[in-house]
Structure 1
Amino acid sequence: MKILLTVLWCFLVLLRLKPIYQEALTLVLALLIPVLFFILFKDKANTFRITLLMPIVLSCIPLYITPLFLVLSIISNDERLRRIANWKLIVFTGMDGSGKTSHSRETENFLRGMGVNCITYHWFKHVLVSTISITYAKLLKKPIITHKHARGRQVYTDKFRRRIRTSVAIFRPLLQLLDNWIFIGTTLLINMLKGRWVICDRYFYDYYIRFKVLGYPIPRIIEWLVYSLTPSPHLLIIFDVNPLISYKRRREEHPLWYYVYARKEYFKLAKTKKAVIINTERPFKEVQRTVNRLITKMLLQ
């Protein structure tokens, strides 16, 4: 491959030295070469390395700088690039109590058994939002609600829902989206560069649905940002369960209406993102076998 890259570099430099070639024709050739290479060999990593050479046909780049492009394309490790190209993002989402955490851990064990380097993340941290909320509460001497000790019957009341339908309340979903981009986005990027698959227990979608179900005033632009501009999973699985079962599994953490509304929103998400819906009212091992088959069929073959 290094010999091919060197020969290609010489060819592209000669194109610039030959006055008979018009710059437009040279640019067309520069675009066609990577495309033809990929069509012939289906090799994303080496196609990328060839693409790194293409800017040298531009007359605005001095000839004495062009060897740097050759060096860059040669030292680019094709094995590392292949790992990045083959990187996968698996997202498990759904109502609380639907089995996301248990199945994400079991899926990690399954993939590791198949020789896949992977890691599971339980996204339930919102550092930016929590810090601002606690600081705001302390400054105004308001009570700080701790999720561990405060149950939904005390927090998610009709009074609470009326209070959050204010113009100021819109900032919390916006801050949460920013928080997600910083925390989740950075983590995904680091793992992608390492070529390590990521299994997500919850994702951007879960935060948005939670705010919507609770009645926060969320403009349509936020929905578009969450569903369109966040990294799309290679496999999105929504775990579905009867709201009453979810309500009991979570020991009445939230009111029953919370799970009913959430289920409707997850069905909308499935339609929008073409997700796979798996009912988790069946035995755990049976559900996990379904998950394993999906991963094998869609990501490993």
Structure 2
Amino acid sequence: MSPARLSRGRLTGGAMPRSLRGAGAGTKRRRARPFPVDIAERLARGEHLVLYGPLGSGKSTFLHALHARLGREGRPSGIADATTGLGDMTQALARAYPEVDVAGLTQRRMRARLAAAAELRAGVLLFDHVHHLNTAMRGFLHGLRGGLAGIILALDVDGPRAREALRTRCPALPWVAMPRSSARQLRAYLHAAGPRATPDLTPAQERQILRAARGRPGWVRLCALLLQEDRYWHDKTLYVTVLCADTEIALRLGCHPFQSSLIQKPQSTPPLERRTRGGTPV
């Protein structure tokens, strides 16, 4: 996913990427979930937050946009694209303070030296794709409290049952829900790659795709890539149901859509007819 564009206001004043400002799922019945406008100020105060939402909801896009903006403002910041252990957290802390010489040090001494730098100049750490928090990782986060570093832990949570299960692991941290993108934003993502990526979708097909996206921009971008695959097209028909199912599989596996052997060709799912005008697909 390409990084979202930032709004004209300053991030520290509560502005955020345009793709995160809308929050509707595309219908009047499902309203937007408000995104806190003071998230940057809370990080500047050294708060630790949990950012949660389903796969493809834009958490990674938001973290990278926030990381870039903090760098332009001169605030120490480090990001871990995949947080699977204490080593990933240590590397993110080292990226926040590149001026600190940690060559040849053990992980423990490295963290101690970097924590000393954080005491002099507080920073922000962004941990994406956090799958679990073991005892060592919890101890690392606890040692950075007290204003040393503002922290965001991004977790993939889809559904109330998964949310409640993960809340038991981080009971003391404030949780922030990733808002859904509006139908207009999702439609823009779907057509951003041009006619080649989304060849002649009918309104019915487009509505079915956006409904299956459930407000997730990352899901829509991946679906736009899969639309280029001939396996989903037969004559002038599109297997929308199979396309949406394979998009979900590819997103959950984290694989490239054109290299996944687990994505099967459509066989018996009834397609939606494409409209034609004078024998040419519209």
More helix by share: 1
Provide the TM-score with structure 1 as the length reference: 0.28
Greater fraction of residues in strand? 2
Quick check: which has more Rg, 1 or 2?
A: 1
Q: TM-score, normalised by structure 2?
A: 0.29
